[in-house]
């Protein structure tokens, strides 16, 4: 493996010109700030983990069609598929033709092709070496439509050199698509090890209800930003599930209401929205919701899935703001660490995206270099009042808000 890692290190010197190259054969690329460019348009990626088996195209075509339609009519613009490896090559070809017909994109999963993954429940058996199976799989599929990239690592094994090897092999087999990695490690020194192990760096942080404070989402995004180059695409996975789904609920056993009162519950809609907007404010260049299969077996499926789609829809609504330039930090200041915020500048307007990470009502005072007034409340609700060069927001717990501000000239 040391020899392979030396080979990977050499290849990494050559890869940047390939990964971000602009050619007719490149499926997608990224701009200088790490934002996705797909179909000739800069986009903010909003994804969801799924488990759709290509074998369903023969064994359960109705479920497959209903599932793809459900995603197509939702705000998501890509999927990460845990079951993409299942089925024959012919079934995969027909599956991805169907994915493409629904105008969907998917990351194909090669994340389990490790001889020792470190988790018995995740380990799969395959013939040949890791390099051979990755090269063969990608080479067979790379001409198919609907495949956005290759999902090469999902948390385990925690071996940066090994993950880097998988990245190099995937790029050698298909230089036209990006690789995506996902880490469950959270400290800056840990994340730095993987900075060059994939084109897109994803991370998950599931704090609720008993793993810590909701602001851990903000902390891990700050750590990931510190650990990677400024042009790296950083995507955060948003917790949408409750831990109870990993017990009897997965096997169709009804879970009693008393089970859901404590640490097994899922996050509330307000908590999910708070985590989502915290990730945006702290620099996420894409978000991924976890996970469609869990939502479908959730006791509150009829409310949880619509709530997830509503949050994703709101993120989609402010896509132009998320892609816009930052408003200079020298021109605006605020004074409450419980309210996380960012300022963007677009078409002559200032946009404030703010989220209260506290359960309690909080207020924040913004000070601008010029007088402003609130011209539009685009999302959320709060008391806001702007006068001259100051603006106050009073926000409910876990609330988020998007404001459009107009600078007032001296003669107005």
Q: Tokens 């917790």 label which residue?
A: 239
Ordered by where they begin, the domains of the chain are 2-322 (3.20.20.80), 325-407 (2.60.220.10)
Cβ atoms 38, 44 nearer than 8 A? no
Q: What share of residues in the chain are helix, strand, coil (percent, to 5)?
A: 35, 25, 40
In tens digits, what is the pLDDT along the chain, a chain of 412 residues?
434 444 444 444 444 433 333 344 689 999 999 999 998 999 999 999 999 999 999 999 999 999 999 999 999 999 999 999 999 999 999 999 999 999 999 999 999 999 999 888 889 999 999 999 999 999 999 999 999 999 999 999 999 999 999 999 999 999 999 999 999 999 999 999 999 999 999 999 999 887 889 999 999 999 999 999 999 999 999 999 988 788 666 666 666 777 676 667 889 999 999 999 999 999 999 999 999 999 998 888 899 999 999 999 999 999 999 999 999 877 899 989 999 999 999 999 999 999 999 999 999 999 999 999 999 999 998 999 999 999 999 999 999 999 999 998 755 5
Cβ atoms 46, 317 nearer than 8 A? no
This prediction's pTM: 0.91
Which of 59, 83, 79, 58 lies closest to 68 in space, CA to CA? 79
Paired tokens of 314 = 């709101």
Tell me the sheet residues that pair with 246.
none
Which of 225, 167, 157, 224 lies closest to 196 in space, CA to CA? 167
- What are the tens digits of pLDDT across the range 329-385? 778 999 899 999 999 999 999 999 999 999 999 999 999 999 999 999 999 989 999
Which of 386, 314, 375, 366 lies closest to 348 in space, CA to CA? 375
Helix axes 160-173, 130-141, angle to 10 degrees: 40
Q: Tokens 């605020």 label which residue?
A: 334
- What are the tens digits of pLDDT across the range 250-268? 666 666 777 676 667 889 9
């Amino acid at each position: 493996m040391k020899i392979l890692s030396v080979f990977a290190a050499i290849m990494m010197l050559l890869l940047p010109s390939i990964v971000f190259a602009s050619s007719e054969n490149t499926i997608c690329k990224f701009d200088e700030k790490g934002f996705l460019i797909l179909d000739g348009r800069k986009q903010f990626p909003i994804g969801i983990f799924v488990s759709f088996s290509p074998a369903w195209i023969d064994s359960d075509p109705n479920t497959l069609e209903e599932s793809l339609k459900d995603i197509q009519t939702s705000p998501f613009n890509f999927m990460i598929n845990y079951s993409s490896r299942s089925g024959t090559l012919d079934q995969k070809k027909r599956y991805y033709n169907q994915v493409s017909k629904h105008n969907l994109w998917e990351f194909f999963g090669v994340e389990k092709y490790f001889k020792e993954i470190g988790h018995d429940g995740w380990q799969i058996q395959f013939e040949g070496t890791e390099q051979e199976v990755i090269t063969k799989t990608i080479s067979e599929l790379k001409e198919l439509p609907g495949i956005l990239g290759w999902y090469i690592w999902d948390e385990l094994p925690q071996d940066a050199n090994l993950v880097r090897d998988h990245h190099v092999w995937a790029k050698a087999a298909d230089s036209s698509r990006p690789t995506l990695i996902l880490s469950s490690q959270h400290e800056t020194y840990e994340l730095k090890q993987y900075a060059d192990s994939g084109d897109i760096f994803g991370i998950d942080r599931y704090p609720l209800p008993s793993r810590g404070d909701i602001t851990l989402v903000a902390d891990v995004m700050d750590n990931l930003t510190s650990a990677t180059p400024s042009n790296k695409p950083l995507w955060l996975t948003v917790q949408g599930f409750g831990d109870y789904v990993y017990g009897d609920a997965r096997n169709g056993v009804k879970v009693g209401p008393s089970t859901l009162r404590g640490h097994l519950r899922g996050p509330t809609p307000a908590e999910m929205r708070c985590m989502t907007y915290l990730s945006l404010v702290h620099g996420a260049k894409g978000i991924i919701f976890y996970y469609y299969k869990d939502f479908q077996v959730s006791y509150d499926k009829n409310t949880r899935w619509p709530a997830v789609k509503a949050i994703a829809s709101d993120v989609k609504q402010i896509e132009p703001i998320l892609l816009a330039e930052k408003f200079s930090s020298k021109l605006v200041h605020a004074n409450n660490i419980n309210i996380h915020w960012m300022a963007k500048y677009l078409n002559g307007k200032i946009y404030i995206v703010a989220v209260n990470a506290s359960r309690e009502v909080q207020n924040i005072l913004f000070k601008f270099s010029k007088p402003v007034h609130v011209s539009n409340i685009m999302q959320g609700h709060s008391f806001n009042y702007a006068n001259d060069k100051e603006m106050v927001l009073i926000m409910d717990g876990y609330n988020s808000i998007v404001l459009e501000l107009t600078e007032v000239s001296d003669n107005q």
